[in-house]
């Protein structure tokens, strides 16, 4: 009788613990959206879509930032570059912007290049014709951005190189600390279209890869150069006309190094830093992957290699964590592409759900709110 009387209490306690853990599945998706009533200043709203058990419970507009200054020049353009959420409260751009959206505070509106970040700091590099070259560091401890005065500071352990123009051609130059400039190559290709900066990826201090517009014909190549020995080699030529190039970047994940052309129109995976090949599916993290396909076709999304659906979307407007993925859903009307809200898939729901959202610029990331 004693064991039989205690048995129901065990079930009750178990059910309560299960219900408690389910109730704690809270998270937030941070979205950047143009303000349709403030187009002259290109105002961007930072919006949080808050969820509990895979259902929206509230929508919060944290703050707004202008994309254009009163002069009409670019100011904080969150629609350009990559964004991520840092420490669940900072919106960070690889173009140098830092915004504490919880406290409605712009910490940095200066253009620079993200170098690296860890649990207590973010480091940026500025190379400006007026301000000069220097590193700066954002410290979590005081929530401020500090200029690093030491000229010998090299957080990325990469050489200081630049591509200098000579007529329509480029030469690769190295600037050792407190020493004269060294010309590494007088034949670093021709100037890329649309006044693009040359994408560079350092393998180590003295070795780098860069995208080269070859001087013969209308071709692109990936070049590998050693600064110390001044040796260089095109490791592969790309089946992509240089005249069609709009943007390009190297991107390193935990597993692979990619060269991404025209916002995922073409993606090359670089193998052993010695060759490359075009791929049709790109891993987003260790769990999710997505097809590379033109905007006229749906892109298949995979979770643990199993297809979980296909959506019209732009890969640059996709964000994911271990068990959730969100994207800006699109619709094709003739040859035109229009946004159709935000679509989310979660492992717990095992299905897609879509909610209304207008003029989405970027999905910055997820915030775990379960402990709140």
What is the domain-level CATH number for residue 226?
A: 2.120.10.30
Residue 15's pLDDT is: 53
Residue 269 in any domain: the answer is yes
From 115, 135, 156, give the residue that closes a domain: 156
Structure tokens at 322: 């271990």
Strand partners, 171: 164
Q: Is residue 190 domain-shared with residue 247, that is, in the same domain?
A: yes
Residue 350's pLDDT is: 96
**How much is the average pLDDT of 282-302?**
88
Residue whose C-alpha is closest to residue 121's, from 143, 103, 148: 143
Q: Is residue 181 domain-shared with residue 239, that is, in the same domain?
A: yes
Residue 109 in any domain: the answer is yes
Residue 2's pLDDT is: 45
Range of the domain at 152: 87-156
Residue 4 — pLDDT band, cuts 50, 70, 90? very low
Residue 204 in any domain: the answer is yes
Q: Is residue 267 domain-shared with residue 167, that is, in the same domain?
A: yes
Give dist(CA 70, CA 72) in Å, integer: 5
pLDDT digits (tens, 9 = 90+) for 188-218: 999 888 778 899 999 988 999 999 998 666 7
Q: Name which residue leads in pLDDT, 243 or 341.
A: 341
Residue 3's pLDDT is: 42
Q: How many CB atoms lie within 10 A of CB 334?
A: 5
Is the per-residue pLDDT at 66 higher than 50? yes
Structure tokens at 187: 């034949």
**How much is the average pLDDT of 331-355?**
93
Residue 1's pLDDT is: 41
Q: Is residue 216 domain-shared with residue 272, that is, in the same domain?
A: yes
Burial classification of residue 353, based on how many CB atoms lie within 10 Å of its CB (0-12 exposed, 13-18 middle, 19 or more buried): middle
Q: Name which residue leads in pLDDT, 295 or 263.
A: 263
Q: Is residue 187 domain-shared with residue 150, that is, in the same domain?
A: no
**How much is the average pLDDT of 104-122?**
94
pLDDT digits (tens, 9 = 90+) for 165-189: 988 889 999 998 888 999 999 989 9
Q: How many CB atoms lie within 10 A of CB 58?
A: 10
Strand partners, 338: 331
Tally of CA atoms within 13 A in the half-sphere of 176 that contains its CB: 8
Residue 139 in any domain: the answer is yes
Number of domains in the chain: 2
Residue 116 in any domain: the answer is yes
Residue 137 in any domain: the answer is yes
Residue whose C-alpha is closest to residue 161's, from 184, 178, 179: 184
Total residue length of the chain:
372
* Rama region for 230: left / alpha / beta (φ>0; ψ in -120 to 50; rest): left
**How much is the average pLDDT of 300-317?**
94
Residue 79's pLDDT is: 93
From 259, 278, 297, give the residue that closes a domain: 278
Residue 127 — pLDDT band, cuts 50, 70, 90? confident
| pLDDT above 70: percentage of residues in the chain | 92
pLDDT digits (tens, 9 = 90+) for 7-39: 465 555 555 555 544 557 899 999 999 999 999
Is the per-residue pLDDT at 230 higher than 90? yes
Q: Is residue 168 domain-shared with residue 152, that is, in the same domain?
A: no
Q: Is residue 162 domain-shared with residue 246, that is, in the same domain?
A: yes
Q: Is residue 171 domain-shared with residue 236, that is, in the same domain?
A: yes
From 136, 156, 176, give the residue that closes a domain: 156
What is the three-state SS of 212-249? EECCCCCEEEEEEEECCCCEEEEEEEEEEEHHHCCCEE
Residue 201 in any domain: the answer is yes
Is the per-residue pLDDT at 136 higher than 90? yes
Angle at 236 between CA 234 and CA 237, to 5 degrees: 100
Is the per-residue pLDDT at 315 higher than 70? yes
What is the three-state SS of the chain? CHHHHHHHHHHHHHHHHHHHHHHCCEEEEEEEEECCCCCCCCCEEEEEEEEECCEEEEEEEEEEECCECCCCCECCCCCCCCEEEECCCEEEECCCCEEECCCCEEEECCCCEEEEECCCEEEEEEEECCCEEEEEEEECCCCEEEEECCCCCCCCCCCCEEEEEECCEEEEEECCCCCCCEEEECCCCECCHHHCCCCEEEEECCEEEEEEECCCCCEEEEEEEECCCCEEEEEEEEEEEHHHCCCEEEEECCCCEEEEECCCCEEEEEECCCEEEECCEEECCCCEEEECCCCCCCEEEEECCEEEEEECCCHHHEEECCCEEEEEEEEEECCEEEEEEEEEEECCCCEEEEECCCCEEEEEEEEECCCC
Residue 65 in any domain: the answer is no
Angle at 30 between CA 27 and CA 33, to 5 degrees: 150
């Amino acid at each position: 009788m004693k064991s039989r009387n205690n048995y129901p209490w065990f079930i009750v306690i178990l059910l309560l613990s299960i219900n408690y853990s389910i109730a704690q599945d809270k998270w937030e998706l941070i979205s950047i959206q143009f303000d349709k009533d403030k187009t002259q200043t290109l105002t961007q709203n930072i919006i949080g879509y808050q969820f509990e058990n895979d259902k929206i419970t509230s929508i919060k507009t944290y703050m707004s930032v202008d994309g254009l200054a009163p002069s009409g020049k670019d100011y904080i353009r969150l629609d350009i570059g990559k964004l991520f959420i840092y420490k669940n409260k900072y919106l960070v751009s690889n173009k140098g912007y830092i915004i504490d959206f919880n406290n409605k505070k712009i910490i940095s509106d200066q253009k620079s290049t993200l170098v690296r970040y860890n649990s207590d700091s973010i480091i940026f590099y500025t190379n400006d014709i007026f301000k000069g070259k220097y590193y700066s560091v954002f410290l979590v401890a005081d929530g401020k951005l500090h200029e690093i005065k030491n000229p010998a500071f090299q957080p990325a352990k990469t050489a200081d190189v630049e591509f200098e123009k000579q007529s329509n051609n480029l030469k690769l130059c190295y600037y050792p600390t407190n020493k004269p400039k060294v010309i590494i190559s007088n034949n670093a290709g021709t100037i890329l279209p649309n006044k693009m900066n040359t994408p560079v990826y350092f393998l180590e201090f003295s070795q780098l890869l860069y995208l080269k517009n070859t001087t013969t014909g209308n071709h692109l190549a990936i070049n590998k150069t050693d600064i110390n020995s001044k040796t260089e080699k095109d490791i592969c030529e790309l089946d992509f006309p240089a005249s069609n190039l709009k943007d390009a970047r190297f991107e390193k994940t935990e597993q692979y190094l990619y060269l991404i052309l025209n916002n995922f129109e073409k993606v090359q995976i670089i193998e052993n830093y010695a060759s490359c090949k075009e791929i049709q599916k790109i891993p987003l993290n260790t769990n999710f992957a997505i097809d590379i396909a033109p905007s006229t076709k749906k892109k298949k999304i995979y979770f643990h290699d199993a297809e979980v659906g296909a959506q019209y979307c732009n890969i640059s407007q996709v964000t994911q964590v271990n068990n959730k993925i969100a994207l800006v859903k699109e619709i094709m009307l003739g040859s035109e592409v229009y946004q159709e809200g935000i679509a989310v898939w979660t492992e717990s729901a095992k299905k897609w759900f879509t909610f209304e959202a207008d003029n989405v610029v970027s999905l910055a990331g997820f915030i775990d709110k379960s402990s709140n």
